[in-house]
Amino acid sequence: MRTLLLLLVLPGALWADQPLEQLQRGMAAVRSVYLEFTQERHLSLFTEPLQSEGVMLIEKPDRIRWETTAPFRSILLGDHKSVAQFEEGKKLNLGFPQMLQRVMEQMTLMHQGKLDALTADYTITVSTNRIVLVPKDANIRGMLEAIEMQMTPEFQAVREIVMKEPGGDFTRIIMHNERRDVTFPPGTFDQSKPLPLADVKKALSHAP
């Protein structure tokens, strides 16, 4: 009976590991990522989703810039040491920076395919083109039921992230216009005076 159970479970487990390894392998060689996103906040109370737009920039080993460009301008910058936020160009004296830094770090790990580094915080399952992360901490699950990552068919990149809340509300982040291995200009990740996005884009448009 035990053998039968093993036979039933083992192929699934092996199969489940492959996409994660594939993702990690595919992303390991990627030095940097530039992508644009559309964020949809689906609240059951509203008939239409509430939308925002922006860009996400990641540079190895751990630098991230998450910038909302519409309907308001806000920049979040993070690395393994610190996090900073700018609102309409003004730097904030952040409350609870550690919490924000942890989230930024997790976002970087997800987009680098380093999901094994998240197993302490999440139970991870894989199905066709989809990776689901369920928080292990019950308190966090009370606010965030699961994170679903929609992948490209070859598990080479994240296309969409859905953050599900217990009440049925969710946030969908759709990634597009992704560019890899770009060279960001100096100041892109500067936590004191980040280079304006227009200048970053200009530098990237001139890059080969």
Q: What residues line the site for another protein (CB under 8 A)?
A: 41, 43, 45-47, 50, 71-72, 74, 76, 85, 87-88, 92-96, 98, 100, 103, 142-144, 163, 165, 167, 169, 171
**182: CB partners within 8 A, 6+ apart:** 32, 33, 34, 204, 207
Nearer to another protein, 15 or 72 (CB): 72
Least CB distance from residue 100 to another protein, whole Å? 7
Least CB distance from residue 122 to another protein, whole Å? 16
Residue 46 and residue 40: Cα distance in Å, rounded? Answer: 12
Bridge partners of residue 37, in order along the sequence: 54, 175
Nearer to another protein, 5 or 48 (CB): 48
Least CB distance from residue 127 to another protein, whole Å? 24
Closest to 67 in 3D by CA, of 78, 75, 58, 79: 75
Nearer to another protein, 19 or 148 (CB): 148
Return the structure tokens found at 151.
């992948």
Least CB distance from residue 69 to another protein, whole Å? 12
Nearer to another protein, 9 or 99 (CB): 99
Nearer to another protein, 41 or 130 (CB): 41
Find out whether 34 and 178 touch, Cβ atoms under 8 Å: yes
The three-point CA angle 174-110-161 to 5° equals: 25
Least CB distance from residue 140 to another protein, whole Å? 10
Return the structure tokens found at 112.
């680098």
Least CB distance from residue 77 to another protein, whole Å? 13
**134: CB partners within 8 A, 6+ apart:** 122, 123, 124, 125, 141, 145, 146
Q: How far is CA 33 from CA 56, 57, 65, 182, 199, in A?
A: 8, 6, 10, 7, 17
Nearer to another protein, 31 or 193 (CB): 193
